[in-house]
Amino acid sequence: MGDDEIFHGFFKDLLEAVDRNNLGFEIVLMPDMESKWSLDRKRIANLVCRYANHAAITRVNGRIVLSPYNAESSPMKKDIDGYLIDDDWWRSLILKDIPDLCRERVFFLPLFQGLSKYFSRYEDFSDGFADWGMRDPAGVDYLLASYLEISKKYPDKVPFFPVSPQDSRPKDKIYWEAGGGQLFLSSFAAADQISNSWIHLITWNDYGENTQIAPSCKTGYAFLSYLKAWKLKTSSDELIYFHRPNFVSDYDEKTGWRKMVLSSTASNAIGVFLNVEEKSTLVVEINTSRYYFSSTPGGNYFSIPMQTGNPNFKVFRDTGPVISLASSCRIGREGFDRDYGYCAGSSLNPIPPVIQSLCAQWTN
């Protein structure tokens, strides 16, 4: 969140709309410490106190939740007068500045880019912990190990675990390899292993970086559908596909696109998450190729090599067909400006036909 009157105007309108309409959700204060927030503790104290009277602000046991992004930045930066900020910057803000200004108590949940590196400096006065997370499924297990270690040492602190769908930025021509749906799915699976974990959906619904989980022409309702199934612990028959519209590489000399350096290599695969109530057979058809997979009850993930064309997905049981779904996103569209973000779709929550017809110019 920023710190100017335009932002405060929008934020005030949002809080009042939530308060007025009883919409059933709350808002966590998350100042961006890469911005002006890091210059002066009073800015953040004023932020907390300015909005403390809104019912939509998240509280834990009466205390306002404050979860600063890049919390490690402030103790390392200089204030507006050029003096180094002391290591007690956050401690003084939470235990003195905010209570003195408006008698509010803070539930401090700092978010780091490097949890294992920085948290020890905050552990004695924080109420939870968070990391900005990985954008590569290969890094999820590493992050999970850090969370489990801290949770074991501090079982009363709230873990705030990151979940991201993908990250691919056409404006910068960089991407992280999400492995189809594996980044999203493996992050939820990791969070399930952490006791009393909160989930931090790293999305901002930023279509310019392909991090949206909100409905879109490219990803439909796929991420929302999986999120709903995970939250409700439902087991309805559902197929979710993932694939890119173009073939990719670690570095494309022609376009300048490059993969950020992590352990996963560039993937040219069609991924399928299939959740079924009974043993089933999955058939994936593309051009003249046909692939068969046997699926056991519960969640299963399958993949095949990408080919040019429109994939079709069918699920059968002994009693007959269960699911039939065609991808709304063609692979290898001629003249298509390369976009390394994944397409996705859900059989349980498909894009309505009237919307799909509008999307066709972008996906076919």
Residue with the larger pLDDT of the pair 263 and 119 = 119
pLDDT over 60 at 13, yes or no: yes
pLDDT band (50, 70, 90) for residue 84: very low
Q: Which of 115-124, 240-249, 332-341 has the lowest mean pLDDT?
A: 332-341
Average pLDDT over the chain reads 88
Residue with the larger pLDDT of the pair 21 and 363 = 21
Q: How many CB atoms lie within 10 A of CB 99?
A: 15
Mean pLDDT for the stretch of residues 109-136: 93
Residue for token pair 């959740």: 275
pLDDT over 60 at 86, yes or no: no
Q: Which of 141-145, 164-168, 257-261, 353-357 has the lowest mean pLDDT?
A: 353-357
Burial class from Cβ neighbours inside 10 Å (0-12, 13-18, 19+) for residue 66 reads: buried
pLDDT band (50, 70, 90) for residue 25: confident
